[in-house]
Chain A
Amino acid sequence: MTISFDNALGIHEQALNVRVKRAEVLANNLANADTPGFKARDLDFKAALNKQMGSAQNEIEMAMSKTNSNHISTRGESGEALLYKNPTQPSIDGNTVDTQQEMAAYMKNAMDYQASFQFLNGKFKALTGAIRGE
């Protein structure tokens, strides 16, 4: 009998990764809150998670067939996860970052990260318990 970590940990590992990526995007928005012409971005969580979960599968489906070893591998860009936000109060210099909204989204994302972490930690604890036979 072998333990497959992918099966045992489920979706939580990928979810945690996507949360980290979203935190990065939101931190970038907040860092550019005073940059003229900067457009706020956000991660479409569902699309990003799907991409993480089935990236290998999508690659096979979307990639062009390679008939020569010199061909560059292509990736399908359908369902791009990184999108632009609809501005609520665009400023006159073209910046669309709403600091309060971004901060709220960032903090919520941090809480969701904690939740994903709890689930992942629970899985690990369960595995440890199974190994020890408790």
Chain B
Amino acid sequence: MSLNRIFDIAGSAMSAQSIRLNTTASNIANADTASSSTEEVYRARKPVFASIQQSVMNNGFNTAFTDNPESQGVEVKGIVESEAPLDMRFQPDHPMANDDGYVMYPNVNVVEEMTDMLSASRSFQTNVDVMDAAKTMMQRILTLGQ
């Protein structure tokens, strides 16, 4: 029964969204982490999503075109650090200030992170609903003939 694959698909999406929530949490937690050099300062982290492509070779020619959809679920290709400009503040009294009196703050945009968090949690909920509906469908099929 290919209903099993719905669990894999929704599961992959839930795990991808939870990674996104993790990076968001890390970004917000470090939003005010000060540093004295551009190398050491925290940069906002973002996951890169990509759909898992169905391999034609693994499935043979017969099933690749007819039975299976092109892709199966979503995966996180990697986590990249944001290239946005850093926040340099002139705070000569700060213990982390460099020789010129500047302190580096991360390039985390807290408002952006909050909207990202909402989007991730909504997508997570959607996939929970998908899995729940698939579960109901499977339970129904078990009652066939009763």
Question: A residues within 8 Å of B by Cβ?
Answer: 20-21, 23-25, 27-28, 30-36, 38, 41, 51, 55, 72-73, 75, 77, 80, 82, 99, 103, 106-107, 110, 113-114, 117, 120-121, 124-125, 128
Most buried by B among A34, A38, A82: A34
Chain A's nearest CB lies how many Å from the CB of B39?
A: 29
Query: Which residue of the partner chain, among B2, B66, B127, B136, contacts A75 with CB atoms under 8 Å?
Result: B66
Q: Are B50 and A35 closer than 8 Å at their CB atoms? A: yes
Given contacts A27-B10, A110-B136, contact A32 B71 (CB under 8 A): yes
A113 nearest CB neighbor, chain B only: B137
Known: A28-B72, A32-B13, A72-B61. A110 touches B144 (CB 8 A): no
Query: CB-CB contacts of B67-96 with A at 8 A, as 1s and 0s?
Result: 101111110000000000000000000000
Query: CA of A27 to CA of B130 in the docked complex: distance in angstroms?
Result: 7
Chain B contact residues, CB within 8 Å of chain A: 1-3, 5-6, 9-10, 12-13, 16-17, 20, 49-51, 61-62, 65-67, 69-74, 119-120, 122-123, 126-127, 129-130, 133-134, 136-137, 140-141, 143-145
Q: Are B73 and A36 in contact (CB under 8 A)?
A: no
Chain A: minimal CB distance from B52 (Å): 9
A23 and chain B: residue at smallest CB distance = B6
Q: How far is the CB of B121 from chain A (nearest CB, A)?
A: 12
- Contacts of A20 on B, CB cut-off 8 Å? 1-3, 137
Q: Is the CB of A28 within 8 A of B49?
A: no
The answer to whether A35 and B74 have CB atoms under 8 Å apart is yes
B116 nearest in chain A by CB position: A34
A110 to B137, CA, bound (A): 7
Known: A31-B16, A38-B71. 16 other contacts (CB 8 A): A28-B51, A28-B69, A30-B130, A31-B10, A31-B13, A31-B74, A31-B127, A34-B20, A34-B74, A34-B123, A41-B69, A55-B66, A72-B61, A75-B65, A77-B65, A110-B133
| Contact call B126/A32, Cβ cutoff below 8 A | no
- CB pairs A–B below 8 angstroms (6 shown): A23-B6, A27-B10, A30-B126, A31-B10, A31-B13, A35-B74
Q: Which residues of A contact B69 (CB under 8 A)?
A: 21, 24-25, 28, 41, 82
The one of B2, B20, B123, B129 in contact with A24, judged by C-beta atoms closer than 8 angstroms, is: B2
Q: Is the CB of B126 within 8 A of A107?
A: no
